[in-house]
Amino acid sequence: MTALRPFAASRRPFRRGALLAAILLGLVLSTPAYADGRLELNQASVEADGGFPLTLTAPGNYVLTSSLPVPAGVDGIVIATTDVVIDLNGFSIVGPATCAPGACAQGAGRGIRPGPSVAFGHASTVRNGTVRGFADTCVALGSDARVEDLHVRDCGGDGISVNTNGVVRANRVSRTGDAGIRMSLKTAYESNAVASAGLGPQGGRSYEGGSASGGNTCDDGGCAPRGERRYYLTVDSSLDGSEPASACDPGFHFASMFELLDVGSLFYDVTRGHSSQDSGSGPPSGSFGWVRTGKEAGAATSFAGGGSCFGYTDTSAGSGTVAGFSNAWSDNNASLPPSSARFWDFDRVNCTFTRRVWCIED
C-alpha cells in the first residue's frame, strides 16, 4: 500500500520551538499518531509508492488532499479489504477517457473498484468528489456499500455499480457507455440525477436494479421523480402461461393484480414497457398481460381472476388471467352516466396462449 500521511485537522502554523520538537518527534516515532483517524492520499504519495493503481489493503478512513490524475487503461484505486471510507474531499480521480454518442467504447481502467476477492469492497463508502474519464466503470463497490455526493461522468461502462444491500444517494452521473447507476438486490437509492446513459454500443438505462427510497431524475423516462413504485407491461408478447415469473427485469417481479389496482400511486417505466402511439409517458390501453390473481394455484375456471395456470408454472391444462387498461371509456348502457370511465379490463385465457406480462418494482 502506498505511503500515507496523517490528515491534519488543523493547519495552524507552529512556533519555531514547537516546529523543531515536532520534527524531532517525527524522527523518533515509527508510526505517526493520526489527529482524527483519517489517512491522507495524494498524487505525491501515490507516485512515491510506484504509481497506479493505488491498492488499499487495510480498513480505515482515507481522505484525498489532491486530485489524482490516472493514466489511460489503468485503475485508480483498488480496495483489497473491507470497511473502507474514501472521502474525496472535493477532489477528483481523473482518467483521460471521454464518452459521447458513437464514441463511447468500453475498455480497461476503472476509477475505484474492489480487488479480486468477493469480500473486497464490502461495507465501504465513497463520497464527496468527482470520478471521471475511465474506459470501464467509474465507481464499483461490493455489498453493504454507500456511494453519495459524487459527480461521475465519462465512463465507458457503468457510472456507479453497487452490490447487494447498498445505499446510493445524491449523486450526479452523466455520459456513460452502459447504465448510469447499476444496483443489485436490496440496494436503496434516492436524490440521484442521471443523464446521457447508454451511449456505448452495449446501451444501458439510467437506473438498473435497486429500489427507490425517494425521488430521482433521469432523461430517459425510466425513473420516478417522487419515488413512486415503477411498473410496466413487457414488450415481449410471446410468453405463455408458464413463463411470467421469469419475464421481469432485475429489481422487478411478476405483479399481482392487487399491486396494480391503484395506478395513480405508481409510475410507468417507459424504458422497459410496451407503449402505443398515444401512450406518452403512461401505459398503453387495449394491451393485455398475464397477472397474478391471489388465488390458490388452480386449473380451468369459468371466470377471469380464477385461473392461474397452476401458479403460472404449467401450460398443460387450465386457464390464466390477463389484465389490461380499457380503451372503451364510455358505455351505452342507459343506467350509466355518459362517458363513464372504467380503467381495467380482464379476461380468462388458455395457458398455452401467449401474452405480455405485468411487472412491478420489488
The confidence band for 336, taking pLDDT boundaries of 50, 70 and 90, is: low
Same-domain status, 209 and 259: no
Name the average pLDDT for the chain.
86
**205 and 238 inside one domain:** no
Which pTM was predicted? Answer: 0.80
What are the tens digits of pLDDT across the range 256-293?
A: 999 999 888 999 999 999 999 999 989 999 999 999 99
Residue 172: domain span:
5-20+32-227
Cα angle 63, 66, 67; round to 5: 105
* 205-238 tens-digit pLDDT: 999 999 899 999 999 999 999 999 999 999 999 9
Question: Does the residue 47 lie in any domain?
Answer: yes
Average pLDDT over residues 117-125: 92
77 and 207 co-located in one domain: yes
**pLDDT at residue 11 tops 60:** no
Examine residue 323 and state whether it is found in any structural domain, yes or no.
yes
- The whole-angstrom separation of Cα 351 and Cα 313 is 10
Same-domain status, 63 and 78: yes
Instruction: Indicate the residue among 192, 227, 262 that finishes a domain.
Output: 227
CB 223 within 8 A of CB 206: yes
The number of distinct structural domains making up the chain is 2
312 and 222 in a common domain: no
- Could you tell me if 163 and 295 lie in one domain? no
Alpha helices in 14-60 (DSSP H): 16-28, 43-48
The band of 156, judged by pLDDT with boundaries at 50, 70 and 90, is: very high
β-bridge partners, 322: 290, 347
Grid cell at residue 180: 448510469
End-to-end alpha carbon distance in the chain: 40
User: Does 99 share its domain with 112?
Assistant: yes
| High-pLDDT (> 90) share of the chain, % | 70
Give residue 14's pLDDT.
31
Whether residue 25 lies inside any domain: the answer is no
pLDDT at 36 over 80: no
What is the arithmetic mean of pLDDT over 313-330?
Answer: 85
